[in-house]
Amino acid sequence: MAKIKVKKVKSAINRTKKQKLTLEALGLKRIGQVVEHDATPNILGMVKKVEHLVSVEEA
């Protein structure tokens, strides 16, 4: 399974509750924090919902 690195690059202030919960579900709390996930359809869907707040690269 392919791995992706997701990095939070923008604040969640003034974002919808769903976007805040999605970031939390991805394991992102602080700006600059990087987490690694498998590239499953569930994870990719969550990343797509908050793509304006995160950066993604293949690991």
Write the CB contacts of 12 (distance below 8 Å, at least 6 apart in sequence).
Answer: 19, 20, 23, 53
Query: How far apart (Å, rounded) are the C-alpha atoms in residues 41 and 43?
Result: 6
pLDDT tens, the chain, 59 aa long = 899 999 999 999 999 999 999 999 999 999 999 999 999 999 999 999 999 999 999 99
Residue 10: CB atoms within 10 Å: 13
Query: How far apart (Å, rounded) are the C-alpha atoms in residues 14 and 39?
Result: 28
Q: Is the pTM of this model over 0.85?
A: yes
- Residue 32's pLDDT is 98
Query: How far apart (Å, rounded) are the C-alpha atoms in residues 21 and 40?
Result: 19
